[in-house]
Amino acid sequence: MAQIDIQNVQKFFGHLQVLKNLNLTIADGEFVVMLGQSGGGKTTALRAIAGLESVTSGKILINGTEVQDRKASDRDIAFVFQSFSLYPHMTVRENIAFPLRAVRMNATERDKAVNEVAEILQIAEHLNRKPSALSGGDMQRVAIARALVRRPQALLMDEPLGVLDAKLREQMRAEIKRLHIARGSTSVYVTHDQIEAMSLADRIVILHDGVLQQVGAPDEVYLHPTNLFVARFVGSPVMNVNGVRIEGNTVRLAGADASFSFPDDVLASVRGTPADLALGARPEAVLLEHQPTEGYLDVETTNIEPLGSHDIVDVRLGDTVLRARTASGFVSGEGQRVWARLDPAQTHFFDTATGLNLRGAN
């Protein structure tokens, strides 16, 4: 297993720059998830590590050795494709043994390694079938088995669960995590699904337009987004973001007809900033009460999404709408009068011009 360093990597496709000065260190045994929208550069970064894509400039080091000019076959890493990419003319056993044939391992050892990895991934009974006879989940297990069988330096996965249905995706997610804990392999995983990222990652790397936005543990990325892109991209439902004006100790959302009062220490870092500000509050930071309460504003419910474990309630405050997360059944219907407050400790202030978070929530 290995540490991977990415240093000042740039990548152009013609005139289009898809990776802009990327720097990242992935520790030995770490599970890193690259998260971003499609076209954000995450797959290109992964393919650059694998050697399937050359970099325009910069260095990629695996265990301290520069590999950016080495062929994919000389980097000793494994890659799991979204399409699984199982060879249709080979049986499952031949597919898994294929990387071992490249290093000319003898037949006995090869069989042993294949059986072992098939056992771990619970595909032993499919070894003599063709991939086309397998279910989607089993195909993915075979793809992972093929990647793991020769114990590579690192395991790279490009949206490996992207084509599976929701239920199977959840199951395979748990299996990948279990496998990672058992094998401790350095893993880099690309996805656009933030739930996948949150549940799998030791650290999440968020890429947008080829620029690294934030690197951090899942809770850190969720609780302390460094900028508006991360704040909006991570978390479901999306964070409430509104233009805001600060007057004394009060905070007035754009379009709202009343202000929330905020404690001094929360506003200290943003007071006097010349920039236009936006306030970000996740639905759980929007607190609702049935009765008029001190510090709460009078609002009306406009839409309710009952999700079983909790409800997402839209409330109207003047011309603006906030989404709040409540206990399920807290509000019985649309058009109700309730009282709302923002939890100052869970709110963020962003500079609307740069998108930067001026005050991380505590």
**Binding residues for other proteins (CB under 8 A):** 50-52, 71-73, 75-79, 81-89, 98-99, 102-103, 130-132, 134, 136, 139, 146, 150, 163
Q: How far is the CB of 209 from other proteins (least distance, A)?
A: 24
Q: How far is the CB of 47 from other proteins (least distance, A)?
A: 8
**Long-range Cβ pairs for the range 356-360 (8 Å, 24+):** 356/226, 356/227, 357/224, 357/225, 357/226, 357/227, 357/228, 357/231, 357/280, 358/269, 358/270, 358/273, 358/277, 359/266, 359/269, 359/270, 360/223, 360/224
Complex with other proteins: residue 98 or 330, whichever CB lies closer: 98
Query: Of 252, 235, 230, whose CA–CA distance to 320 is shortest?
Result: 252
Complex with other proteins: residue 81 or 330, whichever CB lies closer: 81
Q: Take residue 302 and report the two structure tokens written for it.
A: 């406009």
Q: How far is the CB of 152 from other proteins (least distance, A)?
A: 9
Q: How far is CA 112 from the centre of its chain?
A: 36
Complex with other proteins: residue 51 or 218, whichever CB lies closer: 51
Q: How far is the CB of 169 from other proteins (least distance, A)?
A: 13
Distance CA 46, CA 50 (A): 6
Q: How far is the CB of 131 from other proteins (least distance, A)?
A: 3
Query: Of 252, 342, 335, whose CA–CA distance to 295 is shortest?
Result: 342
Question: Is there a cis peptide before residue 237, judged by omega within 30 degrees of 0?
Answer: yes
Complex with other proteins: residue 45 or 78, whichever CB lies closer: 78
Complex with other proteins: residue 12 or 81, whichever CB lies closer: 81
Residues forming a β-bridge with 207: 212
Complex with other proteins: residue 32 or 86, whichever CB lies closer: 86
Q: How far is the CB of 182 from other proteins (least distance, A)?
A: 22
